[in-house]
Structure 1
Amino acid sequence: MRWNSFIAGFAAAVVLALVIALGVILSGAYNVAATDRHDPIAAWAFETTFENSVSRQASAIAAPELTPAMVQAGAGEYKAMCAQCHGGIGKERAGFAQGMMPRPPALAASAEHLSASEVFWLVKHGVKMSGMPAFGPTHDDEVVWNIAAFVKAMPGMSADRYGAYGAGGEGGHHHAPGEGHSH
């Protein structure tokens, strides 16, 4: 009898939680404004889901050796497509990115906590409801790996070195899948 009572109580709690969640969803009670921070439980749920999903999705991707040539080629692409939101070394993100929620991470600091495969996956597939676009549909894997190589090199890079990358017209080219890449 105790087991049946436990199961019934557990089922009732699950149903109650689902009714409350549905009430919040349908009523619009949760403020989705980017100017309002997430409550701690929602922030934890979003962050934990993000980290675990990226880790799982990227786990099957074998990263190539990231070469200095890839870092060089990815510099202009990063500066053209990523730096406005993520900033650079000694370079702030664009003003509009300050109002994004979640705020795009400063990759010069946070990239050391991501594997090359995770960076590749994020650039290729983007992140739902974050403002992070998927570049895979418009850029071939070579370009995406070059960006990943540059991002992975950023944590150990000086501001002077960051500024020198991409100078002279390298990078910054946008290629559709299958197009050539002339770096």
Structure 2
Amino acid sequence: MQKAQSTLLKGLVAGIVLTALLSLLLVLFVAYTGAYNIAASQDDSPFVRWVFSTTMQNSVAARADEVDAPTEFSETQIAAGAEHYKAMCQHCHAGPGVERAEWAQGLLPQPPHLVEEAAHCQPNEVFWLVKHGVRMSAMPAFGETHKDAELWDIAAFVKQLPGMTASEYAALGQQTGTHKH
């Protein structure tokens, strides 16, 4: 009995090692032959979209848990965040009554329309995304060029987007006119 278990275990380990080697060979084949089309003019397959989306969501959630978010945001923070958002984010993520820039239509993956998607994110997740960006997407990391307080302002504003009207959106971020980018 023990010899059969030992043989079974050796076969299982050999199967796992062989599967890992074949997977590595497949990855190397795809990488070196250019078999995967990286053109931004052709959407990814549903499986690839799922893998990227699921990986991104879980990665952000895991890392954002380490970020302590303020318990509430002031109207001043929201207004300042609106100014930053309109200068840095609106061209890709749009806004109430405002479409994304024409050139952003060619981005793959398409940046999320935050008027809807922000409702599914926590403030610490928005902050983390704005600070660190997302690889293999057009989402830059603003942490090197902006102070955390400015990034929290953006997070405060983004969390207000769901349910915001076009006129409310238009009125926000126009108060100071001091944003420089």
TM-score (norm 2): 0.91
| 2:89 corresponds to 1:82 | yes
| 2:127 corresponds to 1:120 | yes
SS in 2 for 1:155: coil
Shift in Å, 1:8: 1.3
Match of 1:158 among 140, 165, 171: 165
Shift in Å, 1:33: 0.7
Indicate conservation of the 8 Å contact 1:126/1:132, yes or no: yes
Partner of 1:133: 140
Equivalent-residue separation in structure 1 for 2:141 and 2:69 (angstroms): 19
Q: Are the structure 2 counterparts of residues 120 and 171 from structure 1 closer, same or farther at C-alpha, using a change threshold of 3 Å?
A: farther
Shift in Å, 1:125: 1.0
| 2:28 corresponds to 1:12 | no
Shift in Å, 1:41: 2.3
Equivalent-residue separation in structure 2 for 1:4 and 1:168 (angstroms): 70
Shift in Å, 1:167: 2.3
Match of 1:73 among 60, 67, 80: 80
| 2:65 corresponds to 1:95 | no
Identity %: 48
Alignment of 1:98-113 (within 5 A): 98-113=105-120
Segments ≥4 residues shifted beyond 6 Å:
none
Indicate conservation of the 8 Å contact 1:74/1:171, yes or no: no
Per-residue CA deviations over 1:24-67 (Å, capped at 9, x if unaligned) read 01111111111111122221211111001111111111111222
Q: What letter is aligned with 1:151?
A: V
Partner of 1:51: 57
Per-residue CA deviations over 1:98-130 (Å, capped at 9, x if unaligned) read 000111101111001111001001111111121
Aligned pair count? 174
Match of 1:42 among 35, 45, 48: 48
Equivalent-residue separation in structure 2 for 1:53 and 1:91 (angstroms): 30
Gap runs ≥5 in structure 1 = 175-183
Which one has the largest radius of gyration? 2
| 2:32 corresponds to 1:26 | yes
Partner of 2:3: none
Gap runs ≥5 in structure 2 = 1-6
Shift in Å, 1:170: 4.1
SS in 2 for 1:134: coil
